[in-house]
Chains A and B, each alone.
Chain A
Amino acid sequence: DAGVIQSPRHEVTEMGQEVTLRCKPISGHNSLFWYRQTMMRGLELLIYFNNNVPIDDSGMPEDRFSAKMPNASFSTLKIQPSEPRDSAVYFCASSGLGGETQYFGPGTRLLVL
């Protein structure tokens, strides 16, 4: 199993640009989570999906952030427009049915200049 796959691994962009992060969960997993990690705030849950349906997006910082899961094998996290304070590592994780344990991807390191 390839594990959770995220792309790109690194992204450098300028303030105001749109950023799209991508995630492919582990095949057969039905829950998907997006996290953001910074030195100041640690690992924060942004949003999670069960069976492709968003369940809790209370962690999404503001309207500039949006997430979709059009099918069981793909999710995107979009930031539009991006700001320097969005610079962080963004992780995607997935879990299976009954899913207590989450499996994390390698993360996308985002730098907004």
Chain B
Amino acid sequence: SQKIEQNSEALNIQEGKTATLTCNYTNYSPAYLQWYRQDPGRGPVFLLLIRENEKEKRKERLKVTFDTTLKQSLFHITASQPADSATYLCAITLYNNNDMRFGAGTRLTVKP
């Protein structure tokens, strides 16, 4: 069966450290993968998109990698801040299809 799994429900780290979140998928051939941020009581907000032929993408303190052999994406937040505390969702989009399938999310807490 098709699955999208994010490594843990919750991740706690100290301010200034790098947070690394994992997204693994099975029985999908994604055209691209996206990461979204969701704050309590709000809708998800787009952060980064990486295509299946790209290895890495960066945006300010954010970095995403995509390994189609391992069927895994890693999402990094460097120099983390308490304001980065939120739930982070990965989402897969398939070829010839513009709907997305989401993972369950990882709730990140950055402690001062």
Residues of A within 8 A of B (CB): 4, 31, 33, 42-45, 48, 50, 55-56, 91, 93, 95, 99-107
Alpha-carbon separation in the docked complex, A13 to B88 (Å)? 31
- Assess whether A56 is in contact with B49, with CB atoms less than 8 Å apart: no
Alpha-carbon separation in the docked complex, A100 to B47 (Å)? 12
Residues of B within 8 A of A (CB): 32, 34, 41-46, 49, 89, 93, 97-105
Most buried by B among A33, A43, A44, A48: A43
Chain B residue numbers with a CB within 8 Å of A33 are: 99-100
B79 to chain A minimum Cβ distance, whole angstroms, is 25
CB nearest to B51 among chain A residues? A100
CB nearest to A6 among chain B residues? B43
B78 to chain A minimum Cβ distance, whole angstroms, is 23
Chain A residue numbers with a CB within 8 Å of B32 are: 100
